[in-house]
Structure 1
Amino acid sequence: MKKVLMAVSMSLAFGAAQAADIVDTAKSAGNFNTLVTAIEAAGLVDTLKGPGPFTVFAPTDKAFAKIPKAKLDALLKDKAALTKVLTYHVVPGKVMAADVKPGAVKSVEGSALTVSMMGNKVRLDKATVVQTDIAADNGVIHVIDTVVMPK
């Protein structure tokens, strides 16, 4: 019995020390509710909980609020269009802020995102990166202030 309790407590301690995946990290942050709803509506939860690694440029709830409500509601109901928009925010691999360089970066959606510098701020298309390097066990999240749309 003592060995079983020790094994259980060790596994609990090990599990608690692990980071959460991209989806759970976004959920626990509290400012990505619309993004999480969109990920669920597009059927991308299992993918973004998968092994990755992924780099996600995550729009906040305030970023989604910039989209007119009727347009956002229509997007959330159109799984194909929603998937295209969401996968445009994802880059394969784990790209930390220190590794970001200006230029074109191919998204999971297939189109290129344009990374540029404006003063000391990193821009992704027309969005500004406002927070970087939120670690997840299957990648990293960088927070952006605007939803970017594929070309």
Structure 2
Amino acid sequence: MSALRTLIVLAAGGMVLTAPVQAKPQSATPAASRTIVENAAALPDLSTLVAAVKAAGLVNTLNGAGPFTVFAPTNAAFDALPAGTVDTLLKPANKQQLTSVLTYHVVAGRVTAADLARQITAGGGTATLTTVQGAQLKASLSGSNVILTDAAGGTATVTTADVPQSNGVVHVINKVLMPAA
């Protein structure tokens, strides 16, 4: 599987979502002229994701032309995993498993919140997203929130939608999604 196929781009498009956003210092503000990895590295709340992307060897891919849609779990999302999960995934011996988890958060193409809302409506309340990892995520709405459901039935909520990148779009999520074992 190529590095491009192993990227996880999580798509949350179709509906314009609003979420409270705390002011960040100018240096930590994402810039539409930077890539997904460059912007993520500038945001302290995505440092665990950046460390995982580096450990999986996906930096060059996510810095590539794309476009990609990434559903980016926050540090708190990684912290909510069972004790030891992140440390285990970051070990070199588990690079393939880490890559699978990360690429499960990536969808090829630029999928905005409005795009995803249209897909959910057209799908009768659910949209199916095929990730770069090759498996599927389900997207639905709960009120005005986009909810992603993984293979195990776990759910994540898009907390910040439509963060523009030079090579795609990022939607910040509150949980880590897990592909089928």
Q: Secondary structure at the match of 2:40?
A: helix
8 Å contact kept, 2:67–2:108 = yes
More relative contact order, 1 or 2 (CA 8 Å, 6+ apart): 2
Task: Give, in whole Å, the separation in 1 of the partners of 2:67 and 2:158.
Answer: 20
The TM-score, its normalising length taken from structure 2, stands at: 0.72
Pick one of 69, 76, 98 that aligns with 1:55: 69
Superposed CA RMSD: 1.2
1:133 maps to a residue whose letter is D
2:59 is the counterpart of 1:45:
yes
Q: Secondary structure at the match of 1:25?
A: helix
2:156 is the counterpart of 1:144:
no
Matched with 2:49 is 35
1:37-116 to 2 correspondences below 5 Å: 37-77=51-91, 78-100=94-116, 101-102=119-120, 103-116=127-140
For structure 1, the 5+ residue unaligned runs are 1-16
Question: How many residue pairs were aligned?
Answer: 135
1:59 maps to a residue whose letter is P
8 Å contact kept, 2:72–2:170 = yes
Shift of 1:30: 1.9
- Following TM superposition, the consecutive aligned residue runs of length 4 or more in structure 1 with deviations greater than 3 angstroms are none
Task: Give, in whole Å, the separation in 2 of the partners of 1:25 and 1:18.
Answer: 8
Task: Give, in whole Å, the separation in 1 of the partners of 2:32 and 2:172.
Answer: 21
Task: Give, in whole Å, the separation in 2 of the partners of 1:28 and 1:135.
Answer: 14
- Identity %, equivalent residues: 50
1:33 maps to a residue whose letter is S
Matched with 2:161 is 132
Task: Give, in whole Å, the separation in 1 of the partners of 2:32 and 2:174.
Answer: 28
Larger Rg: 1
Deviations 1:102-147 (A, max 9, x none): 2111000000111011111100110000001111100010000000
Shift of 1:29: 2.1
Higher helix share: 1
The TM-score, its normalising length taken from structure 1, stands at: 0.86
8 Å contact kept, 2:32–2:164 = no
Q: Secondary structure at the match of 2:87?
A: helix
